[in-house]
Structure 1
Amino acid sequence: MPAKTGASHALSAFVSLIVGTVLSKYVWTYTPPLAEAGAVAGRHLSGLIGTPIAPETTGGLVVVLLLSFVWGVIYHLARHDAEN
């Protein structure tokens, strides 16, 4: 069982990183207000963790965190629905 769970988490991290980077570039190019909102959220996140992060990186980080959260929720729902 741990191998199955670990593989899912590894895959989610990899997919989130790749898709987050692509989406971040898309958002910065085509929807600057949304990109700026992500950068503002990233600056707040940067302040919380105490590490300075470049504005372009903070937007991508917010997208990756959001994707990881959504992936986790879907995984949890799918796993617990399968048990019922």
Structure 2
Amino acid sequence: MIGAARGRVEQHGAHSGAWDVGRLMVAPDLQGQGLGRDMLARIEGAAPADVAAYVLFTGAGSVDNIRMYKKAGYRLRGPLAGEPGAVVLTKRRR
């Protein structure tokens, strides 16, 4: 497996109606080649037309992940409620 990603419409909570990007991963020996950015763009592109925003979470100490998400237009929103050590990032759909 090279990588994986999941997207689904958030049904509950503060981000209800947003496209929840999850399980984005790239095999460790293939990281750093732009595959994560490509997969992120593809999973965003799979969102239904009526979705106005994207939301995802990652580890607060995952500096490389946070950097990639920020370069892709995501904004750090703070800690993920109920999940110590995780942060939420959001992006408006254009």
Q: Which has the larger radius of gyration?
A: 1
TM-score (norm 2): 0.26
Q: Taking CA–CA contacts closer than 8 Å with sequence separation of 6 or more, which of the two structures ends up with the larger relative contact order?
A: 1
**Structure in which a larger fraction of residues adopt strand:** 2
From the two aligned structures, give the one with the greater helix fraction: 1
